[in-house]
């Protein structure tokens, strides 16, 4: 099995990943520019005491969750002075297969927090609980049965609704921020 260090070294640095995005770059940058880290967050100093130094983010440009979550991760990484590299999920599925959601889904993004020796210290992803609830409720409301002839069209409509909310809901961004920070404090 390939070591996390090898994946990290073969991944793109975060700024290069963002600059090369084709589908969700505008949304990611809008979220990044609009989100502000809470000034009075006591967790920041606590997390700085941990051994996190690097983040291996498993992602793809087309993913709406990644668009929102990576924008928030960028703020966190700047705050904590973490080096972030992005490994494309579909480039080598052996990596994502180590982090399957519910034991079966290659859901992204996944953030693997590493120490200086490239050892895994913590893992977060693919969604904050509040985002998961929103996505589940939206799908329940908008999607017919899978055998319905309009199912594929409804899936596309649901993706648009979800993506638009991810791009505009500052409360959801705070939920993502809090979810990541709480996870970093409590592995």
Predicted confidence (pLDDT) per residue in 91-104, tens digit: 999 999 999 999 89
Whether pTM > 0.85 for this model: the answer is yes
Residue 1 has pLDDT above 60, yes or no: no
- Residue range 5-32: mean pLDDT, rounded: 97
Residue owning tokens 């990484």 = 77
Secondary structure (3-state) at 120: strand
Residue-wise pLDDT tens digits, 23-39 = 999 999 999 999 999 98
- pLDDT level of residue 62 (50, 70, 90 thresholds): very high
What are 63's two structure tokens? 């993913």
Share of the chain above pLDDT 70, in %: 99
Pairing mode, strands 54-59 and 83-88? parallel
- pLDDT level of residue 187 (50, 70, 90 thresholds): confident
Mean pLDDT over each residue of the chain, to the nearest integer: 96
What are 70's two structure tokens? 């990576």
Under 8 Å between Cβ of 34 and 170: yes
């Amino acid at each position: 099995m390939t070591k996390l260090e090898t994946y990290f070294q073969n991944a793109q640095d975060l700024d290069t990943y963002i600059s090369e995005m084709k589908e969700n770059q505008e949304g990611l940058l809008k979220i990044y520019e609009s989100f502000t880290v809470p000034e009075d967050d006591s967790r920041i100093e606590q997390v700085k005491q941990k051994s996190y130094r690097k983040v291996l983010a498993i992602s793809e440009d087309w993913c709406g969750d990644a668009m929102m979550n990576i924008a928030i991760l960028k703020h966190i990484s700047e705050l904590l002075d973490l080096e972030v590299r992005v490994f494309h999920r579909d480039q080598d599925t052996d990596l994502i297969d180590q982090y399957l959601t519910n034991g079966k889904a290659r859901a992204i993004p996944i953030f693997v927090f590493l120490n200086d020796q490239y050892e895994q210290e913590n893992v977060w992803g693919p969604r904050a609980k509040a985002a998961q609830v929103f996505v589940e409720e939206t799908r329940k409301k908008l999607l017919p049965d899978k055998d319905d002839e309009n199912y594929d069209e409804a899936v596309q409509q649901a993706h648009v609704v979800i993506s638009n909310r991810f791009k505009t809901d500052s409360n959801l961004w705070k939920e993502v921020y809090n979810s990541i920070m709480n996870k970093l404090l409590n592995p």
